[in-house]
Amino acid sequence: MRRRRYPQAISEWPEGERPRERLFKYGPQHLTTAELVGILCRTGVKGRSAVDLGRELLQTFGGVRGLAAADPHDLKAIKGLGKAKIAQLQAALELGRRALSEQKRIEGKVESSQDLYAFLRPQMRDLKRERFQVLLLNGQNEIMESVTASEGSLTESPVYPRDIMQLANRYHAAALICAHNHPSGNPKPSTTDKAITEELVFAGKIMRVKVLDHLIVGNDRYFSFADAGLIEQYERAFDRRRPSGEN
């Protein structure tokens, strides 16, 4: 007997082969990545199913991680992706990032740069543009809020110490930690990174808000100004410049 090829439209597939029906019956873990992306896309284009579209997306952007980092402009270049599909994909992928961060959520006091990196890595590692994040802490060094202070270009994210201190005042923070990503993947601090961090430490000393650290997130590695001894160095430099007798 000659086997019949399945039609391209998923709605015409045998019910037991349809990704959505298989997800409900067996669970999402039993579907391929292309099938999961196809469910998010919902429909394909003429001659190609939603799963075919999902497979193309994964091949084009190098897997889920590349797809999560894709710019909307690049996604629009894929035939069959309109604003609605792009919004659904980006919303689902962002939820995935946040789920990873919640798994690494810091409970209790902030204790090390390694813990901070585990918390920030899923959110910042694959970003195509620089993002400057501020973690606001209470007097027990517990994170009260994580705020995006600015988003910039491929090479910089403009940030001003006065804006960071205003955030600290708004949330009544006793301390803060700054973080930003380097889309190049190399977390080595630039001269500008060092200058901004020094200004932040100085501003924090004036406003009585402790700057605990500044993390630069790269590709599976990071740089900590605190671990490198630079936060203490900047604090000492501020104390040397302060007029004698001033509290």
Q: Can you tell me the mean pLDDT for 210-229?
A: 95
Across the strands, what pairs with 217? 181, 222
Name the strand (E) or helix (H) holding 233.
helix 230-241
Q: Do the bridges between strand 131-137 and strand 143-151 make them parallel or antiparallel, or are there none, so unpaired?
A: antiparallel
Q: What is the pLDDT of residue 224?
A: 97
Greater model confidence, 155 or 37: 37
Residue 52: its pLDDT value, please?
85
Q: Which residue has the higher pLDDT, 187 or 1?
A: 187
pLDDT tens, 195-218?
999 999 999 999 999 999 999 999
Spatial contact of 130 and 124, defined as CB atoms under 8 Å apart: no
**C-alpha span between 19 and 35 (Å, rounded):** 6
Per-residue pLDDT, averaged over 87-101, amounts to 78
90 confidence band (pLDDT: 50, 70, 90): confident
Mean pLDDT for 179-194 is 94
Q: How confident is the model at residue 16 (pLDDT cuts 50, 70, 90)?
A: very low
Band of pLDDT at residue 102, cut at 50, 70 and 90: low
pLDDT exceeds 70 at position 245? no
Q: If you search the block for the tokens 């004698």, which residue do you land on?
A: 244
Q: What is the pTM of this model?
A: 0.62
4 phi, psi to nearest 5 deg: -90, 135
Task: State yes or no: pLDDT of 14 exceeds 50.
Answer: no
